[in-house]
Chain A
Amino acid sequence: MLEFLGIFTTVEFYIAVVQMTTPILLAAMGGLIAERSGIIPFGMEGMMLMGTVGGVIGSGLTDRVEVGLLLAMLAGVFIAVLYAIMAVSVGANQVVTAVALNMGALGLSSLLYVLAFAGGKGEVIEDVIRVRAMPLWKIPVLGEIPFIGKVLFNQYPLVYLAFFMAPVVWFILYRTSWGLKIRAVGEHPHAADTVGIHVLKVRYLTLIVCGMLAGLAGAFLSIGAFNAWQENMTSGRGFIAYTSIVFGRWEPIGAFLGSFLFGAADALQLRMQTQNIQVPFQVMVAFPYIVTVIVLVLSGKSAKWPAASGEAFKRESK
């Protein structure tokens, strides 16, 4: 038990917490914008998966991380646009579409990886291919602060972006006219439509933003905290990001806290596994989900699930 508590005294643990939070937070912020406009962002898992492979291909082929990030965003947007075509234009069931896209992204990411690094033609990639990963950016003065500097201000650029996104998303949703439009479309698409808001366009745009952020979240896994790619690299983090949104009751601050909770549980579990501590770490992993269910049940009807979320908008239907 003492060993277990010992984890909390190490700086590495807190650095890991921040780093495990990052991909979840990035995706959750993208997903939140999409969900507030009325689209359940279940497809984030697929967007993130494509982001992981986009990042590794861009960085691996050009040896430039920026190219990797750009490709990761494009790859995420690719899935997002497919999602938008199905969920927004066709009006298909969003959850089913997302299941299909996540499955497709699982296959497509593997295919692209082999195509990029084995030149196609059925070669099997035996070794792990190492690519250039993001450097750590030390913030000048703040990075010198003893403990906090190491944990918060000597991190990867995407970490800063992720933590910066939470207030930005809040600001966009609640302090700008775009945010008002997004929320209107998510709550009362027909009312929004009658006042001249282009519902489908708003939903397309929010999904594209979601794709970009989820793509970056994926890239953080492959060329941020790590420098290589594995099949199914996200292993459910897209869903975790979604759960964070639910945990946060569809509010940016809440989703931020949710991501943090999941990130911390993830980091704790990893540290416990590497140090071979005999405390059932499954409890740690399940804990945030259990809390989420409790939050959901306790908040009851007051949870702000966007009223029109999951429903396709059809102009003529009433």
Chain B
Amino acid sequence: MARGRRERWAPLAFIAPAVITLLAVGLYPLILAVITSFRQYLVTKPRAPRDFVGFDNYATVLTDPTFWESLGRTFEFLLLVLPIELALGLGIALLLHKPGLGLLRTLTRVSLVIPLATTFAVVGLVGRLIFNREFGVINWFLSLLGLPPVEWLGQPATAFAAVAIMDIWQWTPFVALVLLAGLTMVPPEIEEAARLETKSPWKILRHIQLPYLLPGITAVLILRTADILKLFDLVFVMTRGGPGSATELISVYIQRIGFRVFDQGIASAQAILLLILTIILSRLYIRLVYREVEA
């Protein structure tokens, strides 16, 4: 009897540390943010009342044109970088999946981790240097081609592109690694059989490899979408949301409200709306893209 009870509690005891940690660092701040989003909460006015104001903050956010503009800009960014990262990532994964070139392949795989291990802020600083008008390496390449220097970070469209390029640089390797893992899941005998049937790599990709890649692609879509919705450091360091508001993505705007204006009520409402949006998108991705491989 006693043993049975212990056995029943043992699994709970094992997962308890993880669950408690998750509650403390995940759920508690979330609940606090939800509560704050229903209050008037100006950090810099400690004496002002912190009353509950119902859905006022949400109404303010939803009728704020700047919020919608920066959200729209974030989706433009997402639609620009995600397909490129997926395409480049898939290309790299397929190249690395090819047999042969043992040492080189291992080295490449290791070097793919480097951008991932770099802090966003550092990527932003590197970006400022790469796209510097006077000393930047990009303009140097342009000059080799006889092209005039471009003021990358001083013009809205090019600044947007520069931030996107840095994001693609940093995250394409991640996509490549995830997809490479997918490719190694393909049973070799099936792949070999397919290679005997057809010489078209496209057909092999479409019918043999893609089903194994879909879970990875879904994960990439979910993670990268969530990442871009909260992309802050890179943009803040590179352009601070400027010039004008050309690179003010949604999280840069939220930071501005939360930590410059210090209106935590509004900022929390924005963050909660963003969370809801992320969840909806994730569900969509899972429904539309994700397929289990039937063995």
Q: Is the pairing of A and B real?
A: no
- What is the interface of chain B, defined by CB distance below 8 A to chain A? none
